[in-house]
Structure 1
Amino acid sequence: MTDAPAPASRIVPFMQATTYQRLREAIRADIVAGTFAPSEHLKMAALVQRYGTSPAPIREALGQLEGEGWIEILPNRGARVRSIERAFIRELFEIRLALEPPLAGYSAAVATVSDINALWAIHKDYAAAIGQGNSAAISSTNGAFHTSILSIRPNRSALVLLDQHNAFVGATRRRFGFPDHRLAAMVPEHEAIIEACARNDATAVRRLMRAHIQRSIDELIPRLPGNDPDHLES
């Protein structure tokens, strides 16, 4: 994701801007990895020590991460990692339901033999990760599967948004995991999507992808903290 242009009153040297970007990515990666837990306060002294830099670029990085939704900056209380709750993840899934099925359909309509072979290769690694019970590999190969489909006929603006949202969902999955019955069901669901792509059947891919995402929502959302009573309709 590219940074928005800095206001004229706050133009910084190129090397400083690079430092801000690197810090933003490092802090974001630590949040995703669970180094900083949801709702944890980020103390400036600890951040300075961890990243080996001064407070100024850390403040800039935190401001950027607030804009992305990763943290909250509270008046007189500093920065806090955003709490991953049911309502928030539900909202992200609603956006994904609106975007990913039609985008996958566009990709399916133009998928080539080479594209299909690439999807089968990713799926093979995904199925192997499930068989091994390797949570990290399950998460990464599942993400690669979805990204690869959408990259066949990319809508780059939509992909930027989905990538940002998927990082939140991925962090949530690493914390709450997949139940065994959901993992087993995802293998044939992926296979059906690939087979429909191989037929260039955009209608079937849109339907299958929506059902695939919906089943994951129905399994994950009830297990998240929060009092949001809403649910998504199929």
Structure 2
Amino acid sequence: MSLFGAWALAVTGAFIGLMFPTAAVPATPGRSSSGVRIMPLGDSITDGWTPYPGGYRVTLWQQLTAGGHRVDFVGSRANGPAALGDHDHEGHPGWRIDQLDAHIVSWLKESDPGTILLHIGTNDINQDHDVAHAPARLSGLIDDILRTEPGVQLFVARIITEQNAQRAAMVDAFNAALPGIVAGKGPNVHLVDMHAALTTADLADGVHPSRTGYDKMALVWLNALREARAGREAA
């Protein structure tokens, strides 16, 4: 049993079937013939920085499938160890928000995800790319996702910290803008506080998570799915 314990499997089993339909779909590249279609979307933290290829996707996939759920990770890229049963994703090392946005419509049309796990903004900060307007670019990316896939469940993460103090402060400023952005995007867009779950002790190189850090990220995504389902039931 992983660090999540048996309770994580029970929680996942209780909600995942209601959150995402599992109807069969035509086979296409980056998508299997059936299963819960989840698009991990972001940069190298989603891709899985060496020496941890697959990143959080490994433990997330293991926990979902161990609960008896058919899971189909989707995307135009693929990597990961044998322990990750589905290697597809949209994690692009070195990419910024605007670079994802330039391709998002075609990716969505190809993969047709039921849910998206979005962690992006780190490279806007590390490349010092008009950081003051990074939240506005993220808002535009969210809008493009919703226009293309209006029924998708979109989980938007407050990004993880960095070891460099100046960059960590920029991360904090970026994250501070996210609650207001997400609040205006409708009931299918959910804010996920990934930043609170990891500290600099969970970083392998000052930017990317260690194996323990990636496991923590997987747990945060699982909890976010549970909370979103509870909110839907209460509505």
Give the TM-score taking structure 2 as reference length.
0.30
Larger Rg: 1 or 2?
A: 1
